[in-house]
Chains A and B, each alone.
Chain A
């Protein structure tokens, strides 16, 4: 169900951008507007449309982002506030599709800030409403339905203050109904969707697609079978009457057949009719080339065939749904298909296949759970970091504003003094010079502040990348700790008991089964220790990077193939724990590369820290490689190192000489 929902919410979020140019985008004419427009407003608007078209429809992302940046620069220099808000909206929608939540949230927050200054009240409210709606959408997609609801209700409050606009209002109602459906509060969902009824005639037809979807679902979920049937009739008539483009019409058709099928399955329980509808569902999905809908349709066909006891036909179609679902990462549908397959195989006495799919289902539901947890964690982190940075930026902005005021006041004072003063010319002259100097200092300070804001803004982008990696490391730390404390403790206790038992009953020593079990428990407990250590060495968390690398060097040197030595200068204070973990992984990976590919016998790791500067050198005496045409494996190892160095905002240089060795040097600026 996830994909479908994502699709619906998106559709609503993007309405604003689609409507500007109607339903067919004419690339040539827009480019002409960009080249010839006399008005900046027109040109920026066209650039924004063009950028959005390139990014979203032609999938030419780098080109689109470039146009978008140009639009931003122009809008910024001419202070075109409305266009600036659209810039943030388009960028945040793009980041949203990249799963970069922090970036998307950041842009929407900035959009709100810019919107506050738009003088035209309607436009201001509209921009704030859109950003609120999309913020809600991000929370919704990440499964934070309560957070989403909060934003939607806030958006509703805003819309009520604006002049009546049926489309904005119903957008929010549809979205709120959708949240309530997710929260399984079906009566509430029904209530909100009903509020749209009086506005139906004013509403745009595009919005009717998601509206009828939610209307039907809420009717079905609250047991209003007859009403649901009527809704389906309206939708069917809509094929002739609604003003939609080809793609939107296809969406409507897919939706209609799917819902008709669901209606037959649950209300009339006429499975033959349901099957027929689901087959139309499949056909229209294939026509629309919508891979996701194809998988859903196949699964639905499987359920209908199952209800008709046509197991032999159900199995192949469900297998297709399962396989294609997996290929498309639609875990929920692969899971549902696997579960149904297991059930059907069991019913037709094919236990072996049944068992296989039951196991697959368990495995899938595990991986869905952990993937969701990770996603949740990353989203939380992104939310937290964005908030923190926003606070810092707003604090600086306030300071900046205060300083500006100060400069203004001083200017005014200077003016007054220079007109009024003739007697105390000398004294005033002195005063003037003094004040002037201070003014220069204040202006310099202000410049510094602006730079700092810019820097922080850049940091914010880095942070959103970091949060992804950090999420992973946090999870590793947690698992390692759980292994140590939970499983490790348990094994240790078992061993203690065995040891006590052996002491109390010495005859057990000669019992081979006892000796064997004793030993196996020992091995198991060593194994837990080893796994936990590999996940996250305790020494890294407790004592820090240098000690952890020291330990790593020794365990490698103990193997006699490679001697690794460590030198650390200026590393007496610890770095932040996430930086330490990241640097540890970087060095681990570089040492791995050395061991696997270089044939080196000696390596040196060196830390040099002076103030904020940290440089890390890893050098070996191996056979070296050509940095330009390195082979695949070395390359993938290095690119993961490079990514991490980038996350830390660092610079890396690799210098490798054939048969002499390789020196990797990384430089970082450490913030405290």
Chain B
């Protein structure tokens, strides 16, 4: 018999899960904790197999609680319960040590499937989550590590700098204020990780930007 701990401050949600679980064969609801502190106290005494963890608790933020639970409980399978379907929250939850996540308006079958999959060591994602968004999210994260993409204005300014124009003349040419040019130049140096205009132009040339 495997046991479930539900952490959710909404009384009805606890009841709903209890209803779903009551005639499942090899799982039982061990307890419902209404706050993060209550859950941490409970986990000092007991070790449930699953934790269904609400992300909005009155005392500790669910994402933070996930890290704290994971620190002292390596084996427990944590499934986040959210009422939002936001990619940023989901990826953060998974990197904080959760094994999966379910949307709160899940169906009974989905809950069973989630528990089975995380038991087998897989990551479970609610079917309502747009997988594509998640994949895309990952791909863009990787893209962030690569060479920075320059804006159109930045490219123009880089070329003009390369041609030997000074900040004020560039401002005149592009009908912008020198202050704006200066900001663009500072942004460029930060993006390309250099400290002087000389280095900036070198990196630009090496990367065939000019």
Contacts and interface: CB of A to CB of B under 8 A. Distances in A.
Nearest to A553: B140
Contact of A489 (B104, B149, B190): B104
Contacts of A613: 186
A608 B190 contact: yes
Nearest to A667: B183
Interface stretch (A67-75, A210-218, A400-408, A539-547): A539-547
A76 interface: no
Nearest to A547: B88
Interface in B111-147: 130, 132-133, 136-137, 140, 143-144
B84 A533 contact: yes
Given A554-B137, A615-B183, A539 B10 contact: no
Contact of B191 (A533, A557, A608, A663): A608
B187 A615 contact: yes
Interface centre among B20, B56, B105, B140 (most CB of A within 10 A): B105
Contacts of B109: 499
Contacts of B103: 492
A537 B86 contact: yes
A653 B83 contact: no
Nearest to A546: B88
Contacts of A543: 63, 88-89, 92
B8 to A, nearest CB: 8
B73 interface: no
B38 interface: no
B60 interface: no
Interface residues of A, number: 60
Interface in B82-100: 83-89, 92
Given A493-B13, A655-B180, A663 B153 contact: yes
A550 B92 contact: no
A162 interface: no
Contacts of A488: 83, 104
A283 interface: no
A243 interface: no
Interface in A545-559: 547-548, 550-551, 553-555, 557-558
A567 B19 contact: no
Interface in A577-636: 604, 606, 608, 610, 613, 615, 617, 619, 621
Contacts of B89: 538-539, 542-543
A499 B151 contact: no
Contact of B88 (A526, A551, A610): A551
A202 interface: no
Given A492-B13, A497-B16, A665-B180, A551 B191 contact: no
A522 B105 CA distance: 8
B110 to A, nearest CB: 9
Interface in A484-503: 484-485, 488-493, 495-497, 499-500, 502-503
B70 interface: no
A392 B186 CA distance: 33
Contact of B186 (A553, A555, A610): A610
Contacts, number: 160
B140 A550 contact: yes
Given A484-B56, A655-B180, A489 B88 contact: no
Interface in B155-189: 174-177, 179-180, 183-184, 186-187
B105 A663 contact: no
Contacts of B83: 484-485, 488-489, 492, 529, 532
Nearest to B177: A653
Nearest to B9: A485
A485 B10 contact: yes
B15 interface: yes
A137 interface: no
A378 interface: no
Given A489-B12, A489-B13, A497 B19 contact: yes
Interface string A497-532: 101101110000000000000000010011001001
A502 B104 CA distance: 18
A548 B87 CA distance: 9
A496 B81 CA distance: 13
B152 interface: yes
A367 to B, nearest CB: 28
Nearest to B87: A551
Interface string A325-369: 000000000000000000000000000000000000000000000
Contact of A485 (B15, B56, B92): B56
A570 B174 CA distance: 28
Interface of A is mostly: helix
A15 B42 CA distance: 67
A371 to B, nearest CB: 28
A663 B183 contact: no
Nearest to A661: B152
Nearest to A480: B84
A613 B183 CA distance: 10
A492 B149 contact: no
Nearest to B141: A550
B12 A529 contact: no
Contacts of A389: none
B20 A499 contact: yes
B25 interface: no
Contact of A495 (B56, B105, B152): B105
A567 B153 contact: no
Given A492-B104, A604-B149, A665-B183, A538 B16 contact: no
A525 B56 contact: no
A667 to B, nearest CB: 6
A450 interface: no
Given A492-B105, A604-B149, A653-B180, A538 B87 contact: no
B19 to A, nearest CB: 5
A569 interface: yes
B206 interface: no
A490 B153 contact: no
Given A533-B86, A615-B186, A496 B140 contact: no
A660 interface: yes
B188 to A, nearest CB: 9
A453 B152 CA distance: 41
A547 B184 CA distance: 23
Contact of B149 (A567, A608, A660): A567
A608 B185 CA distance: 11
The 10 closest A-B pairs by CB, nearest first: A496-B16, A492-B104, A539-B88, A547-B88, A489-B10, A493-B12, A493-B16, A608-B187, A499-B108, A488-B83
19 contacts: A484-B83, A492-B16, A492-B83, A493-B10, A495-B105, A496-B17, A496-B19, A497-B19, A500-B20, A503-B23, A532-B83, A533-B84, A537-B86, A539-B84, A555-B133, A558-B132, A566-B140, A608-B190, A615-B187
Given A502-B108, A539-B88, A665-B153, 20 more contacts: A485-B9, A489-B12, A492-B106, A496-B16, A496-B20, A496-B106, A497-B16, A499-B106, A500-B20, A504-B23, A538-B84, A543-B88, A543-B89, A557-B136, A558-B136, A619-B151, A619-B152, A655-B153, A663-B153, A665-B183
